[in-house]
């Protein structure tokens, strides 16, 4: 049994054996629980035991998001893992315990690939409003205005990575200095299968470099190293965090990145619910409309199979001309013909 497991999991597995569950089923349950446990310890950056009563809905959402976006797990596999965690929670609930309680607030992904809802992407007007606000001090307190110049470019670069390059939350979080090639305007994404090379626009490269130079030199990520590129900011000390345990800048967490996006969305007076995934969806949909090159898009966003794009393709096919214009047209007036789209 994994020594990172809390003791109640041992009792749960023992009860499954008593119920006559097959050894293969027990092995699968243990694999899924072990996988989640290791993910949780890595995310919290600890080797100490974790009280599973403290697991949040946001953490579970991040876990399932990684299964879909980073690992490209089949929907049936994700649903199975969801079921394992939910059954473990219900076992604890029957003993008047609350471990994994937020799993009841998360629905498993649908087996049928349904089209996205309009709330799952943003329009070009919303994008422009968001980026304009992020460059301003609108709705900031005097204290926030004082620290705003430090992380302004960092926040905008993060949002642009979602919106203009289709990176996932996990990929942005994992960026290190060795991913950035400023001299070549390139961003390297190291997948388990292959390395993806993304060409950055000059303005985005300059934005990233400006942010990099705003970090005080003593806590600045080191060139050609594994130092995190997206660094957490310490608002109390009014400087960027340094991790003394790892002897490197402190990586901005995925939860902090999501919170930043929500905060900027609210500051821009946009609707609730816009997230990193919403911005990534926007990139995928607009790329399908403009370029119509599925193979290139799959390579760009790191999917392993065209099946991963089915939901997006169905969504584009269902678009009205008005929705297309709202999504991709700002200055130009293009006519989109569906017969050429797919």
**Two tokens at 196?**
């993806």
The C-alpha atoms of residue 342 and residue 326 are separated, in whole angstroms, by 20
Strand partners, 239: 234
**Two tokens at 50?**
């974790």
Query: Is 200 in contact with 187 (CB distance < 8 Å)?
Result: yes
**Two tokens at 144?**
């926030």
**Mind listing the pLDDT tens digit of every residue in the chain (342 residues)?**
556 688 899 999 999 998 888 888 899 999 999 999 999 999 998 888 899 999 999 999 899 988 887 887 878 888 899 999 999 999 999 999 999 999 998 888 766 667 889 999 999 999 999 999 999 999 999 999 999 999 999 999 999 999 999 999 989 999 999 999 999 999 998 865 568 899 999 999 999 999 999 999 999 999 989 999 999 999 989 999 999 999 999 999 999 999 999 999 999 999 999 999 999 999 999 988 886 567 778 778 877 556 678 888 889 888 988 888 888 764 344 444 444 444
**pTM for the structure as a whole:** 0.68
Query: Is 169 in contact with 70 (CB distance < 8 Å)?
Result: no
- Which residues 6+ apart lie within 8 Å of 291 measured at CB? 297
CA distances to 1, 43, 135 from 237, rounded to whole Å, are 43, 24, 23
Report the 10 Å Cβ neighbour count for 281.
Answer: 20
pLDDT in tens, 300-309: 887 755 667 8
């Amino acid at each position: 049994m994994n020594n990172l497991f809390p003791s109640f999991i041992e009792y749960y597995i023992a009860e499954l054996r008593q119920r006559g569950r097959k050894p293969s089923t027990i092995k699968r349950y243990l694999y899924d629980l072990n996988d989640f446990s290791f993910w949780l310890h890595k995310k919290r950056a600890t080797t100490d035991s974790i009280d599973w009563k403290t697991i949040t809905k946001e953490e579970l959402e991040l876990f399932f998001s990684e299964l879909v976006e980073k690992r490209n797990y089949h929907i049936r596999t994700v649903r199975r893992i969801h079921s394992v965690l939910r059954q473990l929670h219900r076992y604890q609930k029957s003993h008047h315990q609350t471990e994994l309680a937020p799993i009841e607030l998360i629905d498993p992904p649908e087996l049928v690939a349904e089209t996205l809802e309009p709330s799952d992407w943003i329009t070009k007007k919303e994008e422009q409003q968001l980026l304009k606000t992020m460059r301003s001090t609108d709705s900031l307190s005097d204290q926030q205005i004082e620290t705003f110049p430090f992380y302004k470019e960092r926040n905008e670069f993060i949002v642009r990575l979602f919106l203009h390059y289709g990176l996932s939350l996990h990929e942005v979080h994992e960026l290190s200095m060795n991913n950035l090639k400023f001299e070549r305007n390139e961003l390297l994404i190291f997948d388990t299968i292959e390395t993806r090379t993304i060409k950055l626009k000059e303005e985005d490269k300059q934005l990233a470099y400006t942010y990099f130079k705003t970090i005080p030199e003593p806590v600045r990520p080191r060139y050609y190293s594994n130092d995190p590129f997206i660094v957490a900011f310490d608002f109390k000390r009014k400087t960027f965090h340094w991790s003394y345990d790892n002897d490197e800048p402190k990586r901005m967490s995925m939860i902090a990145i999501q919170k930043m996006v929500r905060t900027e969305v609210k500051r821009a007076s946009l609707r609730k619910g816009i997230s990193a995934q919403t911005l990534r969806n926007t990139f995928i949909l607009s790329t399908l409309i403009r370029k119509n090159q599925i193979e290139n898009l799959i390579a760009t966003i790191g999917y392993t199979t065209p099946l991963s794009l089915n939901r997006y393709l169905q969504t584009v096919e269902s678009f009205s001309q008005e929705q297309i214009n709202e999504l991709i047209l700002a200055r130009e007036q293009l006519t989109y013909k569906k017969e050429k789209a797919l």
